[in-house]
Amino acid sequence: MHGPPLPPWARENRTGRYRRHRNDPGVGGAVSAALFQLIGAKSLAGEGRVFVELSPWVWALLLAGPVALLVRRRYPVAAFAVAAAASLVFATMAEPHWFWAVAPVIGLFHLAACGRRTAAIAGAGTAYGTYLLIFWGLRGHLDERALPGVRETVLVGIALTAAIFLGGIAKIKREQMAQLMKVRAERERAEEEQQRRQASEERLRIARELHDVIGHHLSLINVQAGVGLHLMDREPEQAREALSAIKTASSEALREVRAVLGALRTEDEAAPRQPALGLSRLDELTADAGLPVETVTTGEVRVLPAEVDRAAYRIVQEALTNVRRHAGPGATASVGVDYLPTALHLAVRNTFAGDAGAGDAAPGTGIAGMRARAQSLGGTLEAGPVDGGFLVSVLLPTGEGK
């Protein structure tokens, strides 16, 4: 599952961390403002365009704004106010120039970028109003060389407006990046959860397959071994047949275990392919069941979905295994397979032999496993004693017949 690619400013860098485009230039902004204002003042003073001597207090005034920018993340309004006030005071001592507006513009940009839009608009309005009051309302009290023209006055207003506008864009950009990071994190968590769920389901499927294979064949081996031991001295030929059945069952068990484990290989590995398990092998299954089994098939036989075909085979296999375990020697079984229009019905019924009773066939992990297998395909399973025996009835949906 892959979502849309992140924009360049949100992609991971080589260290694995996301690039951060901050809302403000950080410490670099304060340093840049200090350099611009100090170098600008020195340059203007050399040209005779600063009307006072660059004494320590004038240098301190020039540095007040940049220093205030260092705390603008914590005190954004105060930082802008200090930078604007210091710049306005110095502007009365020199000819109009853009360099003294660097610190206030950076402070105003940050104020808007951190979400304080109202404060930014109010601060910009106050600063611009004070600027107009000083340089236009009090023109007669200032050195004429410090008075700005209409062009400079308009540019100051544009600079303040642009700072608010760009700060707002930076805020939106930051929120979009945060949302993208959140979506990416949620998507990665969902992918990890899906992978864990798929791995868990695969482990459960493999465990169920191994249980079916090993349980069925070991049960058969156990029965035949008991028969062989019982007949070894009296009827060696029948004992030989029992040993042959044990060999066949063990070989079949090994083959099916290899088939199950082969499913763990990647697709590009050259794993030997075993015949698919399904009802096409039902006769083989009942012949090796270790007890007499009658099979009856009704309805129109058709190709079933692979998962339904395999589940039907495994359910019949487990049911016959339970018969051998619980019904006692001499028991018989019947398997009914009914192809319905949109479903498959299985009925495995057995008789009890000797003094074996229904209590010996009480539902256990075998029936629970069969029921879970049926329910995973949207089917149902009912199991319980009937007259003289035990019945397992399963209904598996197959969709429209082919």
pLDDT band at 258 (very low <50, low <70, confident <90, very high): low
Tens digits of residue pLDDT in 104-114: 888 889 888 88
- How many structural domains are present in the chain? 2
Res 150: pLDDT:
81
Two tokens, residue 200: 């868990």
Would 60 be classed as within a structural domain?
yes
Q: What per-residue confidence (pLDDT) applies to 334?
A: 93
User: Within this chain, do residues 167 and 297 fall inside the same structural domain, yes or no?
Assistant: no
> 165 and 23, same structural domain?
yes
The string of pLDDT tens digits covering residues 115-158 is: 888 888 888 888 888 888 887 877 766 767 767 778 888 888 88
pLDDT exceeds cutoff 80 at 389: yes
Q: Is residue 132 one of the residues assigned to a domain?
A: yes
Mean pLDDT of the chain: 77
For residue 39, give the amino acid letter: I
What per-residue confidence (pLDDT) applies to 295? 94
Specify the pLDDT at position 381.
Answer: 94
According to DSSP, the β-strands at 293-299 and 333-339 are parallel
Residues 147 and 95 sit within 8 Å (Cβ to Cβ): no
In a domain, 168, yes or no: yes
Which tens digit of pLDDT belongs to each residue from 177-222?
Answer: 989 999 999 999 988 888 888 778 767 766 776 766 666 666 667 6
pTM: 0.45
The domain in which residue 110 lies consists of 8-187
Provide the token pair at 14: 């080589």
State residue 216's pLDDT score: 62
What per-residue confidence (pLDDT) applies to 132?
85
Residue 118 within any structural domain of the chain = yes
Q: How far apart (Å, rounded) are the C-alpha atoms in residues 10 and 158?
A: 30
Tell me how far apart the alpha carbons of residues 266 and 270 are, in angstroms, rounded to a whole number.
9
Single residue among 163, 187, 211 that ends a domain in this structure: 187
> Which of 237-241, 268-272, 285-289, 341-345 holds the top average pLDDT?
341-345
* Same domain assignment for residues 180 and 312: no
Tell me if 286 is assigned to some domain: no
pLDDT at 220: 67
3-class DSSP string for 338-387: EECCCEEEEEEEEECCCCCCHHHHCCCHHHHHHHHHHHHCCCEEEEEEEC
